[in-house]
Every structure is written in C-alpha cells, then in structure tokens.
Amino acid sequence: MPNVTCPVYSPRSCCASCSARAHSPRIVVERCSETHSLLWWHLQQQMPAGKPVPTGTVAVTIECRGQRDVSYEVAQRDADALVDYLTYRKAIEGNAKPLPQLPMPATPLAGSEQFYAPVSGILVHRANIGDMMRVGDPLFDIVDPLTDETTTLTSHTEGVFYMRRAIRFVTAGAPLGRVMGTRPFRTGVLLGA
C-alpha cells in the first residue's frame, strides 16, 4: 500500500482528527475495501523504480466512534471532516480548507494490541479513549461481584488507547479494547468483523 503520509491517504485522517490511524502494507483481511487498494500496491511493487504506478483507488475504513459516543456535535464534526476530505480529493466541488497537522503519525496495524477479559465480572474503565498509554498503565479492572476480587489489565504497548467495549459485565475471553502502538508484533489476519 502506498506510504500513508502521501497526500492521498493522510488528509482524511487529518480532517477527521482521528486519535488513531493504522496502516499496513499487506493487510490480511476479508473485507471488500482492501481488495481495491491491494491490487495497486501489488502493481507498484512489481514495477521498476523508474516507472512508478500511481495509486488508482483509495480504500479506507472509517470507524465512527463507539455506541456511546453519539451526539449532534460529534456527528457534525465527522460529517464536516468527510466533506473536507472529498473536497480536497476533488470528488466534490468547493474550496479545500487548509489541512490540520496530524496529532501523531499513522502506526502499523500490526502494532495494535487487543485486550481480552481473563475472568468474568464487572468492567471498570481506567483509561479514556485517546489517552497515551505506557507499558504497565492500567486500562481495565474486572471486579468479581461475589468476592470483590479485582483483576487489573495493563497495557503491554506504548501507544494510543483507541477502542473499548460499551459493556459493563464481561465474561472470560470477551474482547475489551485496543491500544495502537508503533512496534509491529502481530501477523496473520489483522482485522475482523
């Protein structure tokens, strides 16, 4: 996939003011959007350096926040950001606004750490979406409602806390959230439904 700092990809994330942006040169997923850009990535890799192939399509997945993050203000900001991006790309007519700076560079999708509940219990959030996490920072507590025993899950990754589940009682093995780090460590299927 093309460099994520190129003008084709980065304006959407700039306009949207995303707290986390991921990229992967070869995404191993089963989604339709990646099939569009993967073909161009393969062509670019096979052509000699002196004969560059421009990107023919742009495929991005936009996660529209969480179930509890719905408000008119947030929806308006996100809609404006999408229109700004489409204007920048000349997909719609208008004057493109100056692009804001990225708050942080895109990170490898393979650097996203997923956290799962090791036990069942009441889920207590210890970090907020967008927080910068360090190794050892607490993300979640799971409190056993019968014994009051508390299990704390901490980050093993330095990066931005960008996703958490909108549930309060979890069962062992349930996915809880993710931290997007800069060091790739995962392989195989990187995204799922």
Provide the residue-wise pLDDT of the chain in tens; the chain has 193 residues.
333 333 445 554 555 555 555 555 554 445 555 666 677 777 888 888 888 887 777 666 666 666 666 678 878 887 888 888 888 888 889 988 877 776 666 777 778 899 999 999 999 999 988 899 999 999 999 999 999 999 999 999 999 898 888 889 999 999 999 998 888 777 666 665 4
Beta bridge partners of 107: 22
Long-range (24+ apart) CB contacts under 8 A made by 72-77 are: 77/17
Instruction: Report the phi/psi class of residue 8: left, alpha or beta, with left for phi > 0 and alpha for psi in -120 to 50.
Output: alpha
- What's residue 125's pLDDT? 94
In the chain, CATH 2.40.50.100 covers: 108-181
Q: How far apart are the first and last CA of the chain?
A: 21
Which fold is adopted by the domain 108-181?
OB fold (Dihydrolipoamide Acetyltransferase, E2P) (2.40.50)
